[in-house]
Amino acid sequence: MKISVVRNILEANERIAEQNRDLFRENALFVINLMSSPGAGKTSLLERTIDALKGELKMGVIEGDIQSSQDAERVAAKGIPVVQINTGGACHLDGNMIRDTFDEFNFKEMDLLVIENVGNLVCPAEFKVGEDFKVMILSVTEGDDKPTKYPLMFHESKVLLVNKLDLLPYVDCSLERIKEDSLKINPDLNIFPISCKTGEGLEAWYAWLREGVKAKRA
């Protein structure tokens, strides 16, 4: 019975996510659902990405947090439109929460919407919100056993950003093992090792975003 309840919730969510997707398509808006464990660097990645691309792309951000608006404040400081969703306990964003933000944006004037999900390596992977692609961050401080232990998010994502490369010399983590095990789960995964602190590797990520925006407009 528990399974059928969960399935109903997932199915209801997918219908709403599909409606969101239709609206994004009408506006030729490229939409990313950004997911990771708490503290892996989602907001730091956003700050870097906005600084690098805001001259060429019109961006907007939805910040998902259980509580507080700290991340939205960090993004707003960069001068782009941002809406904070407080889930009030819920461990992931869903299609309905995203739909509720639509009045706050002018999608016709935007190229890229990044939805920063709640920090959680498990639950967000199950819920579509209307995105073109899911993008995940794993930090090297979390360890190289994460793909085999939390496979769903690696399976569902189009891009894996392996962050905190600057800390690699100080932790027991093999970048090769992360790559190998992730590609076993998802052979089509794009893997970009990066450091949001030093900026290393971020050009490849920016290039992927530019391509996505271009493809969506075509």
Q: How many residues bind its own copies (CB under 8 A)?
A: 36
Residue 183 lies near its own copies (rule: CB under 8 A): no
Checking DSSP bridges between strand 190-193 and strand 59-65, what pairing results, if any?
unpaired
Torsion, Cα 42 56 21 84, to 10 degrees, reads 40
Q: Compare residues 87 and 101 and give the one whose CB is closer to its own copies.
A: 87
**CA 154/CA 159 separation, integer angstroms:** 9
With binding defined as CB under 8 A, does residue 151 bind its own copies?
Answer: yes
The CB-of-80 to its own copies minimum distance in angstroms stands at 21
- Compute the least distance from the CB of residue 189 to its own copies, in Å: 17
Residues 36-55 that bind its own copies (CB under 8 A): 37-39
Which lies closer to its own copies via its Cβ, residue 33 or residue 120? 120
Tell me how many degrees the CA angle 168-137-117 measures, rounded to the nearest 5: 145
Of the residues 28, 152, 175, 191, which one makes contact with its own copies according to CB under 8 A: 152
CA–chain centroid gap for 217, Å, is 20
The pair of three-digit structure tokens given for residue 127, joined into one six-digit string = 């819920």
* 3-state SS, residue 179: helix
Judged by CB under 8 A, which stretch of 16-24, 26-34, 144-152, 207-215 contacts its own copies? 144-152
Smallest separation, CB 5 to its own copies (Å): 6
C-beta closer to its own copies: residue 107 or 201: 201
Q: Is 121 in the site for its own copies (CB under 8 A)?
A: yes
Q: How far apart are CA 62 and CA 178, in angstroms?
A: 29
What's the rounded Cα separation, in Å, for the pair 115 and 122? Answer: 17
Establish if 195 lies at the interface with its own copies (CB under 8 A).
no
